[in-house]
């Protein structure tokens, strides 16, 4: 049974803190293995990639077949259900339109002292996108990672996707094509991350790697971080629903289950001021679970990590929501905007009863790669800025150097950095 | 002697690649020690902090004296050289003015399908700023970290600064006050990072930690990453100067030395199409080194990691600069803007002969916390966005759900996520 809390219970603060502290990640000791794999790929390049792919994916490759050719991608696309393909196209179009609004502006100005200042945004020159194989091969995630990179203007976007036993999800290849991916390689695991980060004879290195993966992929991303950029290490997904008695309990139960079906470590939480709604949601959820294909996963997630919290007043909700800092926050109350305005920490907010999170997962247009495990306290969902970087620009003429120089010299001297001071004074002497 | 390369030499490509690959970081095996320290602070809180401070900083504290009070800060401020204080105030004013232009805009719009979309930026609720003690206690770095956080609107900004033997740089405390820091604690090392990340009875936890530190601080930041946000792990500083024969060799030599005096692992590189300038810079640098207080450090840096690269044509410079991806890039050529426009990767660009990097370090207004070790390929200098996060917002009404729902259902089914599909269809049935 999920946790059931009431804000009026004597030990509510402690029980809520325990809910926050619950560890949902399975910690696997994979780091030593991953270090060995990365070292092998750095040392032996393609040969190591081919060896690991034979071992882990039961697939015999050569340097010539590492890359998936355009003809193979076209063949895969032809195999796709036209309805799914059309849906993917609608999704791509909406994701592109939304992310185009995230393109940042450059700035260049001259301040009152005559100093020229500003910054310039440029796209990252090459980006690698990891796409998991097997059951977690989500074509929607290909779009969510690749489209912002292309909107940012990244000239080279590379996908790595394992094909265990040679099997590939054709819709993943179709999504890569649709999103404008430049190269696709049939490699996975830590060996794929190493190849993207350090390059091989066949695969040129990239400057940043994004995309989800298993514990080996996550450990490899942590290890190559610094040599290349990475996105966040994604944890299990989560949803928080804040609802009042105007909400439909069947809809809420369906949303809680949609989150729970991702993974046994997913978390679904309902906060409401209506004990009747809480009861109705729990009953509906149990009923809906009976006919769910992934009932084992969703049931375990709900049992182990689900929570229903009833409050004396929804005025208590914002503070709790900020501490939970949920990846997905649905607000299904009479005045959802007013509630949203009072909450600081959330990856994405879905307003009103007709915005199930699944719309945002696929076709809303906003990104579904969002901060998990309370990291919405300090980080954002994936966006165009994650594929760009900002260079600051400064120019002084002789007058500006004369005006600002003495302060720079004073600070250089105060910090014991005489060469800093001299790099200014040597010019002042010539002004 | 520094490396001297010429683009016409037969092995130039290999020699340049070797320069890129040179390891400048001293790798210390501190991770095991750091793990123990973090566990102790999590388990024993203030008591562990007090123990480690006694051991590492030779300082006896109590829970009451962990925090540096306003009166102590005021006393320190009164001890500061008025000239340094005035320079700090000018710097703060200019840094604030520059960073205020970085405040991002929220967006809310309704698309042609009637879907309401957008995002909202909010400040991180609590930020910790680590300030090293000893020789690397730079008041300018306090301003560069604290002011963007305050411009972002962070309601709580906490500084941790060790005071070995009880000694504190008064100018660091003055800078903290000037920048609007809310709390200052006299703690350092991995124990300070642990206290900021997990909190103690005296120190409430923060959501993000920024600021430079030694190997222990860096290892601790890596360990708490995920539980809290961190900025980049800073490596040794570096400058690349691109110059033609219009440049003053004495000025360039001074700039190369200003970089080199930071640390024996710092790197200073000159790229020029003028062999005469290259020779003159080397001569001037040797001469200036003789009278430099930190000649030992600067000399070792120049000898071990310095490089002078002469090119047949400056047209070759942008490609090399992009591979170096320098933290600081000075362009001292006849048309610096044209050269800058051809370079993608740099942390900050300083244009023309009258813009020594030291101006940007202190009083230019732009941030001096910049990506090191080639990470300008994929990351940016510190700014206001590092202290904020973006929440995406989505709202559908019944019509929008009816219009987009079928595509979401198709993709949910294609990905084997039936509960996702049902969370949409259960509403469609009621529309």
pLDDT of residue A431: 42
Active-site position among A282, A328, A330, A368: A328
Which chain A residues touch B383 with a CB distance below 8 Å?
A: 390
pLDDT band at A120 (very low <50, low <70, confident <90, very high): very high
To the query of whether residue A327 is one of the catalytic residues in this protein, the response is yes
Which chain A residues touch B355 with a CB distance below 8 Å?
A: 394-396, 401
Mean pLDDT of chain A: 95
Give the separation between CA A259 and CA A239, rounded to whole angstroms. Answer: 6
Same domain assignment for residues B325 and B373: yes
Give the separation between CA A116 and CA B351, rounded to whole angstroms. Answer: 9
Q: Which domain holds residue A126?
A: 31-230
Say which of A347, A366, A427 has its CB closest to residue B354: A427
pLDDT of residue B27: 60
- Which CATH number goes with the domain that contains A107? 3.40.50.1980
Find the closest chain A residue to B115 by CA distance. A364
To the query of whether residue B99 is one of the catalytic residues in this protein, the response is no
Find the closest chain B residue to A253 by CA distance. B423
Same domain assignment for residues B331 and B277: yes
Which is nearest to A410 in space by CA: B86, B284, B223, B347?
Answer: B86
Which of A136 and A159 is assigned the larger pLDDT? A159
**Interchain contact, A408 vs B350, CB within 8 Å:** no
Same domain assignment for residues A36 and A62: yes
Q: Are B158 and B205 in contact (CB under 8 A)?
A: no
Write a three-state SS string for chain B.
Answer: CCEEEECCCCCHHHHHHHHHHCCCCCCCCCHHHHHHHHHHHHHHCHHHHHHHHHHHHCCCCCCCCCECCHHHHHHHHHHCCHHHHHHHHHHHHHHHHHHHCCCCCCEEEECCCCCEEEEEEEECCEEEEECCCHHHCCHHHHHHHHHHHHHHCCCEEEEECCCHHHCCCHHHHHHHHHHCCCEEECCCHHHHHHHHHHCCCCCCCCCEEECCCCHHHHHHHHHHECCEEECCCCCCCEEEEEECCCCCHHHHHHHHHHHHCCCCCCEEEEEECCHHHHHHHHHHHHHHHCCCCCHHHHHHHHHHHCEEEECCCHHHHHHHHHHHCCCEEEEECCCHHHHHHCCCCCCEEEECCCCCHHHHHHCCCCCCCCCCCCHHHCCCCCCHHHHEEEEEEEECCHHHHHHHHHHHHHHHHHCCCHHHHHHHHHHHCCC
B88 lies in some domain: no
Same domain assignment for residues A180 and A244: no
**Interchain contact, B379 vs A364, CB within 8 Å:** no
A405 lies in some domain: yes
Listed residues A184, A214, A230: the one ending a domain = A230
pLDDT of residue B135: 59
Same domain assignment for residues B304 and B344: yes
* pLDDT over threshold 90, residue A184: yes
Same domain assignment for residues B266 and B198: no
Give the separation between CA A330 and CA A351, rounded to whole angstroms. Answer: 6
**Interchain contact, B411 vs A293, CB within 8 Å:** no
Mean pLDDT value of segment A59-66: 96
Please state, for a pLDDT cut of 70, what percent of chain A lies above it: 97
pLDDT band at A14 (very low <50, low <70, confident <90, very high): very high
Chain A closest CA to B188's CA: distance in Å?
Answer: 19
Same domain assignment for residues A119 and A214: yes
- Which CATH number goes with the domain that contains B421? 1.20.5.1300
B35 lies in some domain: yes
Listed residues A190, A213, A230: the one ending a domain = A230
pLDDT of residue B129: 97
Same domain assignment for residues A354 and A257: yes
Element (H, E) at A185: strand A183-185
Give the separation between CA B222 and CA A110, rounded to whole angstroms. Answer: 39
Give the separation between CA B308 and CA B281, rounded to whole angstroms. Answer: 9
| pLDDT tens track for B405-419 | 999 999 999 999 999
**Interchain contact, B366 vs A233, CB within 8 Å:** no
The binding site of A for substrate consists of 237, 259, 262, 328, 361, 415, 420
pLDDT of residue A379: 95
Listed residues A209, A230, A251: the one ending a domain = A230
Give the separation between CA A126 and CA A149, rounded to whole angstroms. Answer: 9
Find the closest chain B residue to A379 by CA distance. B389
Q: Are A349 and A374 in contact (CB under 8 A)?
A: no
- State the alpha helices, DSSP H only, in A70-169: 70-79, 82-100, 139-152
Give the separation between CA A95 and CA B108, rounded to whole angstroms. Answer: 15
**Interchain contact, B420 vs A258, CB within 8 Å:** yes
**Interchain contact, B257 vs A419, CB within 8 Å:** yes
Give the separation between CA B204 and CA B211, rounded to whole angstroms. Answer: 18
B118 lies in some domain: no
pLDDT of residue B323: 96
Residue A377 is given by DSSP the state G
Which chain A residues touch B394 with a CB distance below 8 Å?
A: 348-351, 355, 359-360, 364-366
Q: Are B257 and B292 in contact (CB under 8 A)?
A: yes
Chain B closest CA to A141's CA: distance in Å?
Answer: 11
The CA–CA distances, whole Å, from A185 to A50, A159, A280 equal: 12, 6, 48
Q: How many domains does chain A fold into? A: 3
Mean pLDDT value of segment B96-108: 97
A387 lies in some domain: no
| pLDDT tens track for B180-223 | 999 999 999 999 999 999 999 999 999 999 998 888 998 899 88
pLDDT of residue B32: 86
Mean pLDDT of chain B: 95
pLDDT band at A27 (very low <50, low <70, confident <90, very high): low
Same domain assignment for residues B208 and B356: no
Element (H, E) at A409: helix A398-414
ipTM at complex level = 0.95
pLDDT of residue A411: 97
DSSP string, A276-330: HHHHHHHHHHHHHHTT-TTHHHHHHHHHHH-EEEE-S-GGGHHHHHHHH--SEEE
Same domain assignment for residues B208 and B243: no
| pLDDT tens track for A63-98 | 999 999 999 999 999 999 999 999 999 999 999 999
* pLDDT over threshold 70, residue B28: no
Longest Cα–Cα distance in chain A: 84
A8 lies in some domain: no
pLDDT band at B428 (very low <50, low <70, confident <90, very high): confident
A370 lies in some domain: yes
pLDDT band at B26 (very low <50, low <70, confident <90, very high): low
Give the separation between CA B46 and CA A181, rounded to whole angstroms. Answer: 52
B419 lies in some domain: yes
pLDDT band at B31 (very low <50, low <70, confident <90, very high): confident
Same domain assignment for residues B67 and B214: yes
Say which of A109, A358, A395 has its CB closest to residue B355: A395
Chain A closest CA to B370's CA: distance in Å?
Answer: 9
Question: Length of chain A, please?
Answer: 431
**Interchain contact, B422 vs A261, CB within 8 Å:** no
Q: Are B107 and B189 in contact (CB under 8 A)?
A: no
pLDDT band at B25 (very low <50, low <70, confident <90, very high): low
Give the separation between CA A252 and CA A266, rounded to whole angstroms. Answer: 16
Which chain B residues touch A251 with a CB distance below 8 Å?
A: 423, 426-427
Same domain assignment for residues A201 and A285: no
**Interchain contact, B229 vs A421, CB within 8 Å:** no
Find the range with the poorest average confidence among A340-349, B217-226, B377-386.
B217-226
pLDDT of residue B431: 42
Mean pLDDT value of segment A203-213: 96
pLDDT of residue A429: 67
* pLDDT over threshold 60, residue A430: no
Q: Are B61 and B53 in contact (CB under 8 A)?
A: yes
pLDDT band at A23 (very low <50, low <70, confident <90, very high): confident
Active-site position among B328, B330, B357, B368: B328
pLDDT band at B372 (very low <50, low <70, confident <90, very high): very high
pLDDT of residue B121: 98
């Amino acid at each position: 049974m999920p946790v059931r809390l009431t804000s009026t219970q004597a030990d509510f603060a402690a029980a809520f803190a325990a809910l926050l502290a619950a560890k949902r990640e399975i910690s696997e000791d994979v780091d030593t293995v991953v270090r060995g794999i990365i070292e092998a790929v750095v040392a032996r390049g393609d040969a190591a990639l081919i060896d690991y792919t034979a071992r882990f994916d039961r697939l015999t490759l050569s340097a010539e077949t590492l890359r998936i050719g355009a003809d193979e991608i076209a063949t895969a696309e032809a195999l796709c259900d036209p309805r799914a393909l059309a849906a993917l196209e609608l999704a791509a179009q909406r994701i592109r339109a939304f992310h185009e609004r995230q393109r940042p502006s450059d700035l260049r100005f001259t301040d009152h002292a005559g100093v020229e200042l500003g910054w310039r945004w440029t796209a990252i020159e090459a980006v690698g996108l990891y796409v998991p194989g097997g059951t977690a091969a989500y074509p929607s995630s290909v779009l969510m990672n690749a489209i912002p990179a292309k909107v940012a203007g990244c000239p080279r976007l590379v996908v790595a996707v394992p094909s265990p036993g040679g099997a590939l999800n054709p819709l993943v290849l179709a999504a890569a094509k649709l999103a404008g991916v430049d190269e696709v390689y049939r490699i996975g695991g830590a060996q794929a991350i190493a190849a993207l980060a350090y390059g091989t004879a066949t695969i040129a290195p990239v400057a940043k790697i994004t995309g989800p993966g298993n514990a080996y992929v996550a450990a490899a991303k942590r290890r190559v971080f610094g040599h290349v950029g990475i996105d966040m290490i994604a944890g299990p997904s989560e949803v928080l629903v804040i609802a009042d008695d105007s909400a439909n309990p069947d809809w809420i139960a369906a949303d809680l289950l949609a989150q729970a079906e991702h993974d046994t470590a997913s978390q679904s939480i309902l906060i409401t001021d209506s004990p009747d709604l809480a009861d109705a949601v729990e009953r509906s959820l149990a009923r809906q679970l009976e006919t769910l294909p992934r009932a084992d996963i969703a049931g375990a997630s709900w049992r182990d990590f689900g929570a229903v919290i009833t409050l004396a007043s929804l005025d208590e909700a914002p503070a709790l929501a900020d501490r939970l800092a949920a990846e997905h926050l649905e607000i299904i109350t009479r005045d959802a905007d007013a509630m949203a305005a009072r909450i600081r920490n959330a990856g994405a907010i879905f307003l009103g009863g007709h915005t199930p999170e699944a719309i945002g997962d696929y076709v809303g247009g906003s990104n579904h790669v969002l901060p998990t495990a309370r990291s919405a306290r300090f980080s954002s969902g994936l966006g165009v800025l994650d594929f760009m970087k900002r260079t600051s620009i400064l120019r002084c003429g002789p007058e500006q150097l004369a005006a600002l120089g003495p302060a720079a010299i004073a600070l250089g001297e105060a910090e014991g950095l005489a060469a800093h001071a001299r790099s200014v004074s040597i010019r002042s002497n010539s002004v």
